[in-house]
Amino acid sequence: MKALVTRLDSFGDVLLAGPAVRAVAARADTVTLLCGPHGAPAARLLPGVDEILVWDSPWTGFQPPRVDRADIDGLVAAVDADSALILTSFHQSPLPTALLLRLAGVGFIAADSEDYPGSLLDVRHHRAPHAHEAEAALDLAEAAGFPRVDDGRLRVLPPPAAGPLTGPGEYVVVHPGASVPARAWSPGRCAQAVRELTAAGRRVVVTGGAGERDLTAYVAGDAAVDLGGRTGAAELAGVLAGAACVVTGNTGPAHLAAAVDTPVVSLFAPVVPAERWRPYGVPYVLLGDQDAPCAGTRARRCPVPGHPCLDTVTALDVVAAVDKLVEAP
């Protein structure tokens, strides 16, 4: 059986699909993962994936491309699968993807769908209303005939050792950036947390992407190791795997930390529900007002002056949360 699993969103979303991918891989001869360009680096880390098909969908992402017939025809021609599992977030419809997979000749398609699917789906599954995204994907896989085969936790291929980047000794990672501004703790608060963690006797490593070098340099200051722009996905996995704890918002590195079995202090803005997106399968402490006025709005930029859901969290709150997850230095 040639199986296709689709998750067309971002880096963290693809990581959360990992347990379902492994369930499919246990029954299929080959597994192709269809993902968007932002999810592709995560797809390359997942066990059970034989081939990656990258496509920028017009119905996902923050800056979706215009509908282009030639582009869609190219995707339809590229798909080669007998069965497909379409993984989506609770607010997304799988039906546009299902239509293209039908045109590609996929004979069996399963997805969560509240909308009537007509002949587009063979398994129309209804996700549990409060399920975590990783659990929802596993539930769908099981309904499609791919039962879970392991503990269902997030997992990635073994990452490279981080010692050449981080230096010797135990450390805590602070990752200040987020793909959505509403989900990020303010740079000033992050910098204070680095100073307070250092004052408490902890060594701190600050991580960030290539476009976040100014942010990581500011947050690290003279107190921490600044790895801004110096890690790809695999190298970041290694850095997080070597950490005693990771401090970050609701963003991809929180899920990558969980995938390498590292505890997470989660600065979680409630614009999306924590029950669906919190760090999965590892010890964690959730910080942030989950009942703030922005709760459930899916806002990309904070709609409340002062960003109170996160910026009422102090640096000392973070130090206490790290101490809760890690033995005191």
**Taking the CB of residue 64, how many other CB atoms lie within 10 A of it?**
13
**Taking the CB of residue 63, how many other CB atoms lie within 10 A of it?**
5
Q: pLDDT by residue (tens digit) across 130-157? A: 999 999 999 999 999 999 999 999 999 9
Q: In what order do the strands lie in the sheet with 284-287?
A: 225-226, 204-206, 172-175, 245-249, 264-267, 284-287
Task: Give the dihedral sign, CA 168/169/174/179.
Answer: positive
pLDDT score of 90: 79
Cα separation, 57 vs 317, whole angstroms:
40
What's this model's pTM, rounded to 2 decimal places?
0.95
Domains and CATH numbers, the chain: 2-143 (3.40.50.2000), 163-325 (3.40.50.2000)
pLDDT score of 160: 95
Cα separation, 42 vs 9, whole angstroms:
11
pLDDT < 50: residue spans in the chain: none
Phi (first) and psi of residue 224, to 5 degrees: -130, 165
- In the chain, what percentage of residues exceed pLDDT 70? 99
Closest CA to 39 of 71, 68, 7: 7
**Taking the CB of residue 289, how many other CB atoms lie within 10 A of it?**
17
In Å, what is the CA distance from 64 to each residue of 57, 58, 61, 115, 182? 7, 5, 5, 22, 20
pLDDT score of 328: 63
pLDDT score of 225: 97
pLDDT score of 307: 84
